[in-house]
Amino acid sequence: MSDSTELRSYTVRLELVDRPGELLRALSPIADHGGNLLSIFHERGNVTPRGQIPVEVDMEATPDQFDTVVDALRGEGINVIQAGAEQYTEELTVVLTGHLVNTDLSNTLERIQSATGANVDDLSLSAPEGDEGISSARVRLATNAGGADSALETIREVADEKDLRVIEPLTAGEGA
């Protein structure tokens, strides 16, 4: 039988802004709520599609402490990508075409992520005519279970506003 006071190992994946003090700000809630750090993997030479630094923290805590730590991290505005067993479980890939660069592609992606909680896992951009011409981007998103439909709806709304076209994936049961 499991005890809620039993220490367990957990992994928390975060995205941090690349500025002094952010790693310390992310580690403080762990210490403040009784978590014991096991390891920290800070990939400063690598950035996420949002331009942030991926950080993976392994820690020990009781289940109650861990829940409190995760809530405190989110309360501090720290982007928690994965906490313990909670992780993105669905993928969605779309292609956007139009004037992506001069309609601010980073704003487009930020709006999609913030409205849906999805994470941009991969982005490939083709802009053969530079920032003034038509460009295309393949965007692969990871969402929580059941979040793909919401993400797709948000993508459609943002694309309509910015006069972009969306090439959507086939859904289950659709034929070619």
* Regions of the chain where pLDDT drops below 50: 1, 86, 172-176
Domains along the chain with CATH numbers:
8-83 (3.30.70.260), 90-167 (3.30.70.260)
Give the pLDDT of residue 173.
44
Residue 81 CA to residue 58 CA, distance in Å, equals 14
Give the pLDDT of residue 42.
84
| CB distance 41 to 31 below 8 Å | no
Give the pLDDT of residue 89.
58
Residue 66 CA to residue 18 CA, distance in Å, equals 25
Give the pLDDT of residue 49.
67
- Summarised one tens digit per residue, pLDDT across range 24-41 is 999 999 999 999 998 898
Would you say the pTM of this structure is higher than 0.75?
A: no
Give the pLDDT of residue 176.
46
Residue 43 backbone phi and psi in degrees, to 5:
-95, 65
Residue 85 CA to residue 81 CA, distance in Å, equals 11
